[in-house]
Structure 1
């Protein structure tokens, strides 16, 4: 099991797995906000592809926010883990969704600054995150990309849990995961530097790639 120094190094390792896409004219790299954006920036530069972001919010259990019962994305997309969500009342679920929808809307407005999303119709969308734990966020991102008309949807991550990888493989056209540790714990355990990515880092990455 390899530990990445930071998200930039993880992006370089991941980009090495995606070299078959270099030169394809219809590829767009979509970083999952916020932690996936620095990884996606490195991948986009290596592939010579445009970079954009997908704002997707995990829906966490009220008493254990790190445990996801689903996720929200733009364009009204919602993905639920029915087994986990079944532990919640309708009122609790609605409360979490209202809060996360408000944050999703705030980030969309901040990061886009009036820009519309990149045109995905007929294109290959490469969705990049810094890791795959439950897979709920990535599943929402796949649904968003398909709803926006992507012809092919790939998910690329430096590290991920085997069960999440298998579930996601049934929904994305391809999942590229550089590492799938047998005893997966948490994404941050596989990075020396796993600081919380700021809004400024996201907007700077988008500006640099414009």
Structure 2
């Protein structure tokens, strides 16, 4: 039997802070961009550097969003077996079932799967899109990493982001056995139900702007 630990979280900021702080952080991000600072980085397909998941954008360190929006906080992740979080409970039931089945299999291989993002409210998705525009200082570049609320598969509950490089890599290799496929080439952490269990995943689209 697989033992599932309770929520595993990295300490983060409170769920609600004054909006003015968000504005100040946004200004700071703009200033860094103007100075030529690099965009935030995270694990790439080979475990190296690359742009981080949308939920790791610096602007999200201070946010008025809460768990009811599907928000966890920068750097946090939870077990996919957690029962009481909207980011999991409002996901498509078949997607959640597949993620849990894959996580159980991964655990036998010594890989711990955590979910860093699942279902998101429309205002959370809009917040991430606004943050991306601020950080990248370019709407087209932001659109490569964060979809609009109307187009986002997170808002519809049909996408999940897998945390830790080894877990995302494992999911990319073996997730198709459960119907899970990496759907964007530039986001090794983003998975959706794209095939029947055991099927062959289609080639991922270039990025979120590809539709």
- TM-score with structure 2 setting the length: 0.24
Q: Which has the higher contact order (CA 8 A, sep 6+)?
A: 1
- TM-score with structure 1 setting the length: 0.24
Answer 1 or 2: which has greater strand percent.
Answer: 1
